[in-house]
Every structure is written in C-alpha cells, then in structure tokens.
Amino acid sequence: MQQRRLGTSDLEVSALGLGCMGMSFAYGPPPEKQEMISLIRTAVDRGVTLFDTAEAYGPFTNEELVGEALTPVRDRVVIATKFGFSLEPGVSAGQGGLDSRPEHIKQVAEASLERLKVDAIDLFYQHRVDPAVPIEEVAGAVKELIAAGKVRHFGLSEAGEETIRRAHAVQPVTALQSEYSLWWRQPEEELLPALQELGIGFVPFSPLGKGFLTGKIDETTTFDKDDFRQVVPRFTPEARRANRALVDLLTRFADEKGATPAQIALAWLLAQKPWIVPIPGTTKLARLEENLTAADIELTPEDLSEIESASAQITIHGDRYPAELAKRVGR
C-alpha cells in the first residue's frame, strides 16, 4: 500500500484508511464482533495503517472493538477517534447534544485511551464544532493533551474555513475529516485551498457516497429501520433514481479500466491531492479487498478531464443530511 503524509505534519499513513463506524453503528444491526475483529486485522495485513473510530459510534462500542482488534498490532497502526458530543449509553450521537468544553474533552480522552487500550491517541478530532465553546479553547485543551503525551495530533471534522484557521493558530491541525466524493464536491470551493495553504491533510469520509457509488444501490433497495440512510434526503427512491446517472458514468470508466465503479470513485479522490486519504468503511471482506485495489488504479490526466466534464453535466438530487444534522456542519 502506498503511503501518504497528512499535510505538512509528520503523520504518515496508508493511502486508504478504514472507517470503522458501520461495524457498530448507523447502517442497521451490527455484524458479529469477532467477524469485525478479523476484518480489521485483515486490513492491517493488506497494508492499511489508518483506522477511524469515535466514542459516538455505538456509543462507545466501536472504540472497544477497534481497541481489541488493533492491540496486537499497535506499533503498525494509526488510530483516530473523536470527541465533542454529550453521550449516554444507548443514545446515538444524532440525539445527543454537543459538548466541547475543555474539561469534557479531557474526560473523553481518558475514556477513549482506556477503550482503545492505548497510551496515546494518534489523531484526536473534534467531531462537530460546538458553537457554545470558542474553538481557541478547544484547540488549547487538545494542545495540553498533546503536551501531556496523551494525544499526538489534532483534527477537526466538518468544520468551516474560519474555524479551521482559528484552531490552527492555537494548535496546528493535522487533518480535517469531512465528506468528499464525486457526489459531494462542496469542499473544493473553500476547504481544499485553505487546507493546501495551511498544510493540513484531508480525510474524506463517505468517499463512496454511503455505498451509493458502488453501483449496488438503486431506487428499489430497501434499508433496515436502523439504517441512517432511511432519513437522508439523498436516499429517497426518487433521488436514488435520478442520481444513478453518476453511477452510470463511473460504470463506463470502470468498464474501460477493468475495475468497479467504487474503485474509480476512490481512484478519482486519490488523484485530487497527494494529501487526501479517504476512509471507506465496510463490514465485508470482499468489499475491503475491492476498495484497497483502488490505490493501484491510475487515472490519466485525460481520464480525469473526461470525468470532470461528464460529471459537470449531472445534477445531484437530495441533501446529504436531514435539516437538523445539516445545522451541525460547516461552522
């Protein structure tokens, strides 16, 4: 697996990471735990070194899963987790309030260290910007955790440009995690130029559009009652039908390259900037293998130009979040 550096930091990781959220949370009933431990360890064997979790996934159970899976290979991996919600067992992050008070951040760090079975958190993200707490105080709290050796790198998730700049002035931000893919390109407008200027890496989540860009979902697909996509406007049957145009485009390129639509979608992301590290999630071994192979696909400048011009003709239908959750991003 190729390695990439997150911005100008000293944090080097595999070109593709593994998002672990769906192993415990958000996409219907979680799979069997030992099966997921095996999947995570297989990812390590295949060269993946960046693993993404959060206390909010479960809550808490995903960190425990990731910690147990990676303990035997701790020296080979980078573990990223997140703070920023007020959580109780059995209450999802979407229902809990925001809490990035410095004292709470430090409490979360201690609890995450224990669940992950590590001495230091490699990358500690603020999960969502908390408008009640100045970002300078948030960055200051993480700076203290770094000085204490409990955290190695500071990250932000779904933050806006101004917030990123203010945080970075207090404690250098190593990475921004936000959604980015061929069907959500808003980060290109302000975020990517700012990240390049500041030397911050970018870790796109949902790089396959919550599964849609794999080509395995259409307007007839049904989702479990606990699947987050049930409430996402972009996943209504009408939106899925309209958005198949983008999948058709990916399929055309995939056929030419002897690849899959998912692999082309990931290869396109990797081609955008050398400091972009997508974290596709999966609970299936076959899908893991498919995703990781995308790192070996090279799209030529002509390919990228053709994808650009063709995708510009496609209008994506549906918002990526329900209205209430949309209020928490881009601050």
**Of these residues, 57, 125, 180, 321, which one is catalytic?**
57
Three-state secondary structure call for residue 175 = strand
Which of 255, 158, 155, 273 is CA-nearest to residue 206? Answer: 158
Q: What is the pLDDT of residue 89?
A: 64
| pLDDT of the residue at 109 | 98
Closest by CA to 193, choosing from 170, 169, 166, 164, is: 164
Counted domains in the chain: 1
Supply the pLDDT for residue 208.
98
Q: Are 205 and 178 in contact (CB under 8 A)?
A: yes
- Residue 50 in any domain: the answer is yes
Which two three-digit tokens encode residue 271? 């081609």
Q: Is residue 322 part of a domain?
A: yes
Position 168 in a domain: yes
The pTM of the full predicted model, rounded to 2 decimals, is: 0.96
Please, which contacts does 242-245 make with residues 24 or more away whose CB atoms are closer than 8 Å?
Answer: 242/315, 242/317, 243/183, 243/212, 243/316, 243/317, 243/318, 244/218, 244/219, 245/314
pLDDT at position 90: 59
- Token output for 17: 């990471």
Read off the DSSP letter of residue 154. Answer: E
User: 8 lies in which domain range?
Assistant: 3-326
Residue 125 is assigned to a structural domain of this protein: yes
Decide if 180 is catalytic. no
**pLDDT confidence of residue 324:** 87
Residue 321 sits in a domain whose CATH number is 3.20.20.100
Per-block mean pLDDT, blocks of 10 residues, the chain (331 long): 97 98 94 98 98 96 98 98 87 74 98 98 98 98 98 98 98 98 96 98 98 96 95 96 97 96 98 98 98 96 97 96 90 91
For tokens 């983008």, what's the residue? 246
Q: Is residue 202 part of a domain?
A: yes
Residue at 108 is within a domain: yes
Tell me if 331 is assigned to some domain.
Answer: no
Question: Two tokens at 135?
Answer: 């970002």
